[in-house]
Amino acid sequence: MFNNLSEKLDKALHTLKGHGKITEVNVAETLKEVRRALLDADVNFKIAKEFTKSVKEKALGQDVLTTLNPGQLMVKLVKDELTELMGGDTVGINLGGSPTVILMSGLQGSGKTTFSGKLANYLKTKKTKQVLLVGCDVYRPAAINQLRVVGEQIGVEVYAEEGNQNPVEISQNAIKHAKANGKNVVIIDTAGRLAVDEEMMTEIANIHKAVNPQETLFVVDSMTGQDAVNTAKAFNDILNFDGVVLTKLDGDTRGGAALSIKSVVDKPIKFIGTGEKMDAIDVFHPDRMADRILG
Ligand code: GDP
């Protein structure tokens, strides 16, 4: 797939051979292809435009390396710039605090509960942490049951209070429970709505204020494309979250949401979800995502 763009750029740059330097005309032509690749990957139009503009400035006057064909050189420039824009390196989560409190936010169906389980499993197996999962969806008993199933699957305790309608109280009680029972990480799975609404935002803002988490993660379905950006902005305005989790990257999405979200909220993408199973979790690698976006 990666070669595909490289080939197209080579074609657009065919006039370049023998010139030794990339000219403005060559660059304009090739960047059209790059912009198309970005739009195909569902990158926001404005961001794609800004991106190609900045690559253009970098590309002009570059010497064509003898070891690379011009298409490959352009792909490298574009890829490096994309990687840089998505944060350059992987960013871990803050495991300070005693216990570490991690708050999950996001819309219903984004993959919060599944990811809460995956993260619990990851911290338990990779970082030998004692984790407590907390069910805070007081509106949907099915959501708590789903979390219990997940907890059983990975051997992690789930804290919930049937009958208590106050998620702030449940979260605070859960942290007390964790302290009393030797747990050093508390992952709070919150209720999600199908769209951003004021009630939901107030509720999660109240939980956030009450538990003062070390890490607030925003979970988003990578298949939702442009909507993902608006949702990310709404949650970030309220929570000033620490990082993003991009789920469902095992689907056929090219993952342009990664670039769009990073550009709009300027928060690192920390993890990706790559399946429904509990081990389908990976830390986010900006360079791998750049390859995927370029197709
Ligand atoms: P929540 O409402 O935000 O808690 O979302 P859920 O965790 O219930 O996930 C919604 C659906 O997406 C479920 O059917 C999950 O199995 C599925 N899901 C979650 N993460 C992934 C993922 O990374 N890949 C795939 N293919 N499915 C996922």
Best mutation site among 103, 104, 110, 114 for ligand 1 pocket (most ligand atoms within 8 Å of CB): 114
Best mutation site among 276, 278, 279, 281 for ligand 1 pocket (most ligand atoms within 8 Å of CB): 276
Q: Is 270 annotated as a binding residue?
A: no
Of residues 110 and 6, more confidence is placed in 110
Ligand 1 center to 147 CA (angstroms) = 12
135 lines ligand 1 (CB under 6 A): no
Of residues 187 and 225, more confidence is placed in 187
Residue 117: C-alpha distances to residues 56, 182, 280 (Å): 43, 19, 10
C-alpha of 57 from chain center: 28
**CA separation for the pair 48, 13 (Å, rounded):** 20
Nearest CA to ligand 1 atom 26: 275
97 lines ligand 1 (CB under 6 A): no
Over residues 257-280, mean pLDDT: 95
Structure tokens at 137: 């969806």
Report the length, in residues, of the chain. 295
- Give strand pairing partners of 21: 63
> Which atom of ligand 1 lies at the shortest distance from residue 118's CA?
20
**CA separation for the pair 119, 100 (Å, rounded):** 13
Ligand 1 center to 121 CA (angstroms) = 16
Task: Compute the mean pLDDT over every residue in the chain, rounded to the nearest whole number.
Answer: 89
2-25 residue pLDDT tens: 456 667 666 666 655 555 566 677
Q: Provide, rounded to the nearest whole percent, the portion of the chain with pLDDT above 90.
A: 61
135-180 residue pLDDT tens: 999 988 899 999 999 999 999 999 999 889 999 999 999 999 999 9
208 lines ligand 1 (CB under 6 A): no
Helix, coil or strand: residue 108: coil
Helix (H) or strand (E) holding 266: none
116 lines ligand 1 (CB under 6 A): no
Of residues 74 and 110, more confidence is placed in 110
Ligand 1 center to 221 CA (angstroms) = 8
**CA separation for the pair 12, 9 (Å, rounded):** 5
Nearest CA to ligand 1 atom 12: 111
52-100 residue pLDDT tens: 988 888 877 666 544 456 667 778 888 999 999 899 999 999 999 999 9
181-206 residue pLDDT tens: 999 999 999 998 888 889 999 999 99
